[in-house]
Amino acid sequence: MNNLAKLQLTKSGELRHFLTPEGLDRIMLERILDTADSFVVVGNQEVKKVPLLRGRTVVNLFFENSTRTRSTFELAAQRLSADVLTLDIKTSAASKGESLLDTLQNLRAMHSDMFVVRHSDSGAAHFIAEQVTPDVAIINAGDGRHAHPTQAMLDMLTIRRHKGSFEPLSVAIVGDILHSRVARDQIHALKTLGCTDIRLVAPHTLMPYAIESMGVTTHSSMDSGINNVDVVIMLRLQTERMASAFLPSAGEYFRLYGLTKERLSQAKPDAIVMHPGPINRGIEIESAVADGPQSMILNQVGYGIALRMAVMSMAMSGQMQQRQTEAKQASSPTGELHI
């Protein structure tokens, strides 16, 4: 087992933390998608609750603001019947000088079963799972510019539900790759699921160094980037990128990299358009595309809840199993015979 798999899986190979799709195999990613598929059905029922996490405590730890991700995690936990506590850490302990370590250890002492963590530092969720509270299931809800695995996997769910198999697909990811925590996880997931043509489209200022080492091609022009693709994933452009000299202006960005109807016509006729939201109309995408027939943007939101329910239920079950195994090992020293 590679190190990232070791950290995220129990000894018997069940998910116990979900930090990044990197290191997980195709079978595990497909299991996540299959489980999410079953929860999509739950979302369509009149009574949307299932009792899988009844009696369990889920703590949403948002060290960085995110209304959308936070509310879908809350909703997902509630639909699984968990007790949910949401902490906006920016306005609480951290501002009083309490370290991340102390905050987490306090919450663990309250017998929390799962932390959903969003943090501005890359590797934060990894650090918590590895060094702080390995016995609490950790779901990464976004760390720095490293990973945002539930977003990436809900994108995979969207692609699979609308395109079927990943193998024959060409996928373009367009925009601020440099600062995107989603893009990296999308690449890992797409590759593991069998996609071989992944194209990144961005000006050099927004393209990370040596990203080709992840098995993608890079394009500085939209025309070559989205030509004949099956899927176009647009990334959100933070407006502060202009002030920090990554780009000259929103207008120039839209002219060169904005997704218009005309540009989209270079992709396959049945290509789908995705965006993690919230969208900037007229900056990275024009309304005619965002609201058009090829847009999957609102479908993604619905799938997001199902995908998060899937990951939360799987990690909770894996973590409980791990705890039981460890408790058993602790109570039966080797060599002692139990009859």
Partner 1 sequence: MSMIIRGARLIDPSKQLDQVSDMHVQGGRIKSIGHLAEQSSDLEIDATGLILSPSFLDLHTCLRDLNQIQKGTIASETQAAASAGFTHLCPSPDTQPCSDSGSVISLIKSKAAAAGFCELLPVAALTQDLKGSQLSNMEALAQAGCIGFSNAGYDIDNNTVLLRCYEYAATFGLKVLVQAQDRQLGDGHMHAGATATRMGLDGILVIAETLSISRHLQFMQHTGVSGHFNQLTSAAGVDLIRQAKAQGMDVTADVGIAHLCFTDTAIEGYQSQYHVQPPLREGSDRKALLIGIEDGTLDAICSAHQPHESAAKCAPFAATATGMAMYDMLVPLIQKLVHTGDLTWPAAIRALSCNSTKIAVGTSTSLTIGEAANLTLIDPSHEWTLDASSQLSRGTNQALAQQKLKGRVQLTLKDGLVTYKR
- Name the site residues for partner 1 (rule: CB under 8 A): 3-4, 22, 99-101, 119, 121-124, 126-127, 130-131, 143-147, 181, 184, 208-211, 213-214
Minimum CB–partner distance for residue 146 and partner 1 (Å): 3
Query: Which is closer to partner 1, CB of 31 or CB of 108?
Result: 108
Contact indicator for 44, 164 with CB cutoff of 8 Å: no
In angstroms, give the least distance from the CB of 240 to partner 1.
Answer: 15
Q: What are 5-9's contacts with CB under 8 Å, separation 24+?
A: 7/126, 7/129, 7/130, 8/129, 9/318
Q: How far is the CB of 26 from partner 1 (least distance, A)?
A: 19
SS3 (DSSP) at 93: helix
Kindly tell me which of 215 and 278 has the beta carbon lying closer to partner 1. 215
User: What letter does residue 91 receive in the DSSP assignment?
Assistant: G
Q: Rounded to the nearest whole angstrom, what is the least distance from the CB of residue 320 to partner 1 in the complex?
A: 25
Nearer to partner 1, 208 or 304 (CB): 208
- Write the CA distances from 238 to 8, 40, 266, integer angstroms: 31, 31, 26
| Least separation in angstroms between CB 71 and partner 1 | 24
CA distance 246 to 206: 7
How crowded is the C-beta side of 286, counted as CA atoms within 13 Å? 14
Q: Which is nearer to partner 1, 216 or 297 (CB)?
A: 216
Q: Quick one: 124 or 279, whose CB is closer to partner 1?
A: 124
SS3 annotation, 319-332: HHHHHHHHHHHHHC
